[in-house]
A and B are shown apart, each in its own frame.
Chain A
Amino acid sequence: MNSLTELILPNVVLTCLTTDKFKTNCLSINLLTPLNRETAAKNALIPAVLCRGTATLPDMAAISSKLDSLYGARIKPVVRKKGEIQVIGLYADFADDAFIPEKCDILEQITGLISEMLLMPKTRGGLLLRDYVESEREKLLEQIRGRVNDKRSYSVQRLFEQMCAMEEYSTDKLGSETEAESITPNELTRHYHALLAASPIEVFYCGSAEPERVKAALKTTLAALPRSDEEPDLGTDIRMNALEAEPRYFEDRLQVTQGKLAIGFRLGDCMEDPNAAAIRVFNAVFGGCATSKLFMNVREKLSLCYFASSFVDMHKGILAVSSGIEFDKYDAALSEILSQLEAVKSGEVSDYEIEAAKSSVVSDYLTIEDSPLALEDFYLNQALIGPDCSPSELAALAEEITLKEVVEIAKGVECDAIYFLRGTEEDA
């Protein structure tokens, strides 16, 4: 698998992963923009509106039928939050030419279509179609309101909203309901032009075509891309310490039968010069894999919960634990989770635990190379925060991580906030 990264237009970087390993290829175009409360919902709305109609394929029926005729190719709007950068994109996946029963240059057709969606949306009088804007705005609102339906992710989202209240990170990738409600076609059209011109763009391709072919196709279809001289200030504010001496506590009450406990930590010192592989191994030891301390102790040994796991956001330097518990197990579960972190800090990690954690991280890295979707996200992260190496190189680094490095990372970790989603019926 050969990777090649190249500037193909001003502030437009193409990463090409050339391989004939996959029968389905992918191509994505991503605009990078600062995450903030005022623009998040508008940004999130844009790719959805772009997918509704273009100058030559004016409605969803026309676009979908074109995609169907390209053997079920798909182009989807994708909105991601990478620390305090919001990534607004279109992601296409499509059959490799070699495996379809007739000759057709799917890559060129997809490149043409995705670029047209980005650059030539259906407009009337220069404005994005009112119909499309309003209907997608309603759907965005439904999605924002629908976040409460998945109690596990909702509890983590509520944790970050409150723990990082003074940081842009508190903004959800879809923005807020109030902001979304007020979007008009006029405003969105203006915002779309500004976003398109100002945003650095990351293009990613993974498939069998030679980079020259991909580049040639994109240079033609993106020729009309506007580029402004203004550079947005992209980056993430990484706070090293908890805000207060004791973790802050937040709660909500909803009509649920099981409580959700979410705990947020600052990774601290290790973010000065982050060693991605080591931080992943630390997380795997603590709560990021099936042999982790949280899984083995909080879930298996003490039966305190149905799930308990941790994850890190490398962009922001945050560690979070998410757990589902009975309401009356709050104290026991919280104290057990925190004491497991203390155990890592004091080096109480067996050889078995560290080796198992390393194997899990190595495997996670290696499997990235088996999936175009995972590769796309990996190289986007790499473009934003590095490190400049392939998944298999990171896997090799993870093999070498020592307990000492894990303990060093753990020592810098500080608990910043605790969030508990509890029932309306139970006693306070």
Chain B
Amino acid sequence: MQKEYFKNIDETLISEVLPNGLKINIVPKPRFSKSFAMFATDYGGADRRFKLAGQWIDTPAGVAHFLEHKMFDMPDGNALNALSSRGASPNAFTSSGITAYHFESTSRFDENLRTLLEFVSTPYFTPESVQKEQGIIGQEIRMVEDTPGYVMYYNLLKCLYASNPVRDSVAGTVGSIAEITSETLYRCHKVFYNPSNMTLAVVGNVDPEKVIEMARELLPSEPGEVPERDYGERETEAPRQKSIAIPMEVSAPQFLFGSKLAPEKKGAARLRQALVGEIALRLIFGASSPFYVRLYAEGLINNSFDYELDYTSGTAMILAGGESRNVDGVMNELSAEIGRIKADGLDKTLFENTRKSCFGSQLRILGSFSSLAQTLADGAFADYCPLDAFEEIKKIGLSDVRDFITVNLSPEKLALSVVSPLER
């Protein structure tokens, strides 16, 4: 068990790697009522083709998400009910890259953690329960088809990527989930839910030694094979398609644009790239950026405008967007702004203030147990310590940020997805 105290932020990080390969990270918060635990596997919607014992295996779209729904079933009942009945708030999510199970509770943490570790590591599926879930997930798929943000997001990813499976919906389609059987689920669980491919992150009023002990006791003791994944052909730098627009039941045009970047895969370099990206995106898209201020004042964007840097399934992308009556106007302003930065560089005061502001937003993460646990899990999968951010951020210079912007937001790298109102 490793214990590191971060004096600057008054937080302690306890970490441990079990012999079975499970990475555990714990940030104790003794003065809070609640505790949060996240048990996650490095397996998401994009992990559809993988190599096991030398053989490539293909699975239908939507298995990771389907598994997430079915994992709560236990031979002796439903884990969601067990946790909920103790007042805990359990939930789970599947992204392209990971599947995570978590709960927050204010009492009986040990029992709840035991349930979490047990249900995630116990596959239990029957043909009947699989069939019933196909109905429920089918509804979920239909519901998101009415959600403009969702449609716009996947349309953008289909423009950006030619073959990386992140371009397909994590939930799959009604057709693809019909191919899923209980055997598919058992097999994928066996492959991806082995401790060597997983991490446990805990934040809260807990005894770290007990957490580690419980994981050691309940999970398989042997490490498993971590399968190699196939995310398709190597992607080009430019998007596959420049833009897409479709009509939907919305009040005003919604837009999302993005670009692919070459991701630092692991370690301190990855943390640094993410922080450079955070400062860069805030500097160009944040509420104090000249771009945002000008477009906001001109009514080209409103406060729904938002942005992020997302790492998933061997790729990384910048996403930004919101609502606008004149999407072309926004995109023209953006390329003009990037042109100006290429020519004139960045304002030093703006850079210093933006860096301070990013420091403050990192500090905010420490107050949100779920965000902190999520960054601990992300860090575990990519081999970096998120609490190093507070020191690392001080080392980032103006030129790092300028390069990030000029390289990754060049007009030729951008793709645009628009959802516009129906014509009546």
Residues of chain A at the chain B interface (Cβ within 8 Å): 21-24, 59-61, 64-65, 67-73, 93-95, 98-101, 131, 135, 138-139, 142-143, 145-149, 151, 254-258, 289-291, 296, 303, 305-306, 324, 326, 352, 355-356, 358-363, 366-367, 369-372, 392
Contacts and interface: CB of A to CB of B under 8 A. Distances in A.
B358 interface: yes
A72 B356 contact: yes
Contact of A359 (B33, B85, B304, B349): B85
Nearest to A139: B302
A19 B333 CA distance: 45
A419 to B, nearest CB: 17
Contact of A370 (B32, B90, B361): B32
B359 A72 contact: yes
B367 A64 contact: no
Interface in B238-281: 248-252, 254
Interface in B62-93: 80-81, 84-90
Contacts of A139: 299, 302-303
A23 B107 CA distance: 24
B332 interface: no
A363 B103 CA distance: 12
A64 B288 contact: yes
Interface in B341-368: 349-350, 353-354, 356-361, 363-364, 366-367
Given A23-B366, A68-B354, A303-B132, A363 B88 contact: yes
Nearest to A305: B139
Nearest to A289: B84
B53 interface: no
A362 B106 CA distance: 9
A61 B252 CA distance: 26
Given A131-B297, A135-B299, A366-B34, A360 B87 contact: yes
Interface stretch (B141-149, B155-163, B193-201): B141-149
A294 to B, nearest CB: 13
B142 A72 contact: no
B302 to A, nearest CB: 4
B89 A363 contact: yes
Interface residues of B, number: 65
Contact of B34 (A99, A147, A355, A370): A370
A67 B363 contact: no
B9 to A, nearest CB: 6
A143 B302 CA distance: 9
Interface string B327-342: 0000000000000000
A69 B145 contact: no
B296 to A, nearest CB: 7
Contacts of A359: 85-88, 107
Contacts of B296: 60, 135
Contact of B139 (A60, A69, A72, A324): A324
Contacts of B90: 290
B360 A257 contact: no
Given A65-B350, A142-B251, A142-B323, A366 B367 contact: no
Contact of A258 (B106, B143, B251): B143
B363 A95 contact: yes
A149 B251 contact: yes
B15 interface: no
Given A65-B350, A72-B360, A94-B360, A60 B302 contact: no
B81 A290 contact: yes
Interface string B93-110: 000000000001111000
Contact of B136 (A131, A135, A303, A362): A303
Contact of B359 (A100, A290, A355): A100
A143 B369 CA distance: 30
B388 to A, nearest CB: 15
A359 B89 CA distance: 10
B283 to A, nearest CB: 10
B407 interface: no
Contact of A257 (B85, B107, B145, B354): B145
B287 interface: yes
Interface string B284-303: 00111010010011010011
B323 A59 contact: no
A22 B363 CA distance: 10
B52 interface: no
Contacts of B2: none
Contacts of B360: 70-73, 94-95, 100
Given A59-B293, A101-B8, A257-B142, A149 B148 contact: yes
Nearest to A148: B251
